[in-house]
Amino acid sequence: MKISKAVAAAAAAVALALTATACGGGSDKGASDGGASGDAKNKIVIGIKFDQPGLGLKTPDGKYTGFDVDVATYVAKELGYQPDQIEWKQAVSAERENLISNGDVKLVVASYTINDKRKEKVDFAGPYFLAHQDLLVRADDTSITKAEDLNKKKLCSVTGSTSAQNVKTKLAPEADLLEQGGYSDCLTGLENKKVDALTTDNSILAGYAAQDNNKGKFKLVGLSLSNEPYGIGLKKGDKDLQTKVNAALKKMVADGAWEAAVQKNFGPANYKSEPAPQITEGS
């Protein structure tokens, strides 16, 4: 009888330990595979911009729109996640590497230009889009057709913008540079003739110009002042995920979904995008 009780107690202890291990293991795997929080089978956390029309925008009704959102949604589906399984997280420019490195997001799809400095901290898939620095001017302005035309004129961009400094230091040193807190402030100034041009990536400019309340007011000059290959940021060393995301991007181009997303998000601004770029990361 004593032996029977001991055996029963030992069996109960083993069962309890196995149950605890199984629960703990499931939680760990979910956090690792799906993003910062939640089971991988239930959701994936993706970082996007919340304030860039045409690329990544959170609308007043809580929806998310833009080319980056469409790309991220397509990639997520190829990874096994439906749209309602995506958790969108705001990824401001200065925090993108930290969000990835800390495991707060699985992917960042946020007008994220691939460069060597960033690749020291994160890996990229793609590129999935090639943007260029350009100028946005009023639709009736014929005085600005090249960067040098900005000399003696007022140029607007956001505070700390590398695009504005590129123009100011290399192309039009006599431009009067005005830095604002956001692109919308520059657009207001451009419309009110307080400034003569706004500069940043042409994809961002096209997104603003394509908004319903801006249609017909502005135009892209059509310059290529820099190359900005957008990639999808992911944790450094995750070659398996990089390979899967690259495959999804190739499929998106092949089945026409990429071109459809370009036309939907940038078409109203008469934006002429580059063809889908060749995948270079991870190859």
Residue 199 has pLDDT above 80, yes or no: yes
Domain 44-131+228-269 has CATH 3.40.50.920: no
Q: Which two tokens stand for residue 117?
A: 């400095």
Q: Give percent of the chain above pLDDT 70.
A: 84
- Residue 176 pLDDT: 94
Q: Give percent of the chain above pLDDT 90.
A: 65
Q: What is the pTM of this model?
A: 0.77
Give tens-digit pLDDT for 32-48.
345 544 345 699 999 99
- Residue 270 pLDDT: 67
Length of the chain: 283
Given 3.40.190.10, 3.30.70.890, 3.20.20.140, 2.70.70.10, which CATH number is that of 132-220? Answer: 3.40.190.10
- Residue 283 pLDDT: 74
